[in-house]
Amino acid sequence: MSATDTCLFCRIVRREIPATIVWENAHALAFRDIKPESPTHLLVVPKRHVGSLNDATDAQLLGELLLAAREIAEGEGIAQSGYRTVVNTGRDAGQTVFHLHVHVLGGRHMKWPPG
């Protein structure tokens, strides 16, 4: 059994697990987080399995994820007021699903520094 067989986000991409999908293109998919940390909290994932930012080697894919985050923020109406993008890499950073993903958070004032 491969990592993609059991990976939660790969299973969402394959539509084996339900999710509220809000955006999609040929390379990435975005869906609402099931435990939102802000009024708007979405996850942007590559359609192919990449375990974390440490495993990423495709600069074009990384750029596409960030451009998707911007487009999603615009679509959600949070681009002008502000939004945060977060990529947790590794357990100590809080990564719990080991499939690269970009959090898009907004809809409220955020403080710095985070956690």
Rounded to whole angstroms, the Cα distance separating 21 from 88 reads: 21
Whether 101 is a known active-site residue: answer yes
Compute CA distances 114 → 18, 36, 39, whole Å.
30, 15, 17
Residue 76: count of CB within 10 angstroms of its CB = 20
Summarize pLDDT for 73-98 with one digit per residue, the tens: 999 999 999 999 999 999 999 999 99
Who has greater pLDDT, 115 or 28? 28
Domains of the chain, residue spans: 3-106
Work out the average pLDDT over 59-69.
98
CATH number of the structural domain 3-106: 3.30.428.10
Do 10 and 99 contact (CB within 8 A), yes or no?
A: yes
Summarize pLDDT for 4-36 with one digit per residue, the tens: 789 999 999 999 999 999 999 999 999 999 999
Tell me which of 41, 49, 99, 101 is the catalytic residue: 101
Tokens of 25: 């293109």
Work out the average pLDDT over 53-70.
97
What's the Rg (C-alpha) of the chain?
14
Phi and psi torsions of 64, nearest 5°? -65, -35
Tokens of 66: 């960030």
* pTM to 2 decimal places: 0.95
pLDDT at 113: 87
